[in-house]
Amino acid sequence: AALPAWRNTAPPARGALLLKAAALLEARVDKVARDLTLEEGKTIGEARGETLRAVSIFRYFAGQTSEPLGETYPSANTATFIYTARVPVGVVGLITPWNFPIAIPVWKAAPALAFGNTVVMKPAALTPLTAQHIAECLHEAGIPAGVFNLVHGSGRAVGNPLVEDTRVAAISFTGSNSVGNGIIATVNKRGGRVQCEMGGKNPMVVLEDADLDQAVELTIAGAFRSTGQKCTATSRAIVLRPVLEAFTDKLLERARTLKVGAGVEPDVWMGPQVSADQQRTVLEYIEVGKREGAELLLGGGVPSGEQYLRGHYVEPTVFSNVRPDMRIAQEEIFGPVLAIIPAEDRATALQLANDVPFGLSASVCTRNIRAAMEFVNGIEAGIVHVNGETAGAEPQVPFGGMKASGTYMREQGKAARDFYTQIKTVYLDLPAS
């Protein structure tokens, strides 16, 4: 019911409301970050950084409301003026995950609202309070009633009706492959528009000429920040044999220094898993790795100590001698587990990097520009880093993966406009007299 008025609101006016929401969110960053840490578990520094990222996303898409929304074209008829206009798709449903409970909801909601759509958002049941902050900021900014709607509940109670309702023109989902593939099938069957960002099994490829200290820091950050609970986390380190031993030694030395504990403590480097179920899943994968014959070099269990009894902790875990066909080398674990896989040469390393169902993010460490570009051109991933960690994305550029990692409809940046708008082509002819 709110769609017609919001669709007809001038885009810069919509942008002004998003700017107000950004300012309101920035003003309460410390409160939001603490709530995020208490709900999700990541460290307070990461939670604060994520909240400020959401602020930046609001501001970026506020700016997009002053950008061109169409093009003009020449016509064979000199009396005809042809142009295109981008118009909103309608009501959109957003189903968001618990691992980035403020950044991902905002990077879906901000473009949807900027381009004139109304929104129904179902956040993850594990992180309802963080999502509530988004709704409050938008409400206080003056978003009209009915334009942004937050609905809490399970996937069965809330998610399924949202996906199945023919009045919902588009669904944007971030989460598991099993749920995402079901959403794709349902929305496609009813003729809706669907965007899914799903799993990853992201490699850090370390070539023989890499700066090993840099490679280790990037691998540690990618594998263990956010307790490995990122779709872009580094879960495989594919290392050329000439530097395998040195890289492994340096990585173990660095990983042993990581302090694990409650995310609200300022000196903690890695927090707990989000839930008992997630902890159980990660520990089960570690046992799978052992049974398959991988060598456990570090971690592999729950840290000992009374301070770890009130949280779902898993130690930073490193396996070596991992074969590429092992489950820990093929399946997304979503925890602090790193598999080190040896490679004989650059071509083999690229082949190993591609030999998984997923294609979200990948990184290569090298000083060789030719080797770097060979990797960039050959890797089957939507996001590629050279001498950077696999995790991390900026709001002004497209985000998304290949193969089983997504539906090829990118999020963020100007690519978001393609999902949240549709093109209207207009032929304007002069009257006869």
**Dist CA 342 CA 237 (whole Å):** 8
Query: Cα angle at 232 between 212 and 348, to 5 degrees?
Result: 55
DSSP character string of 293-360? T-EEEE--SPPPSGGGTTSB----EEEES--TTSHHHHS---SSEEEEEEESSHHHHHHHHH-SSEES
CB 357 within 8 A of CB 403: yes
How far, in whole angstroms, is CA 137 from its chain's centroid?
22
Element housing 418 (H / E): helix 415-420
How far, in whole angstroms, is CA 342 from its chain's centroid?
28
Catalytic residues: 197, 231
**Dist CA 221 CA 244 (whole Å):** 19
Where do the H-state alpha helices sit in 165-211? 177-189
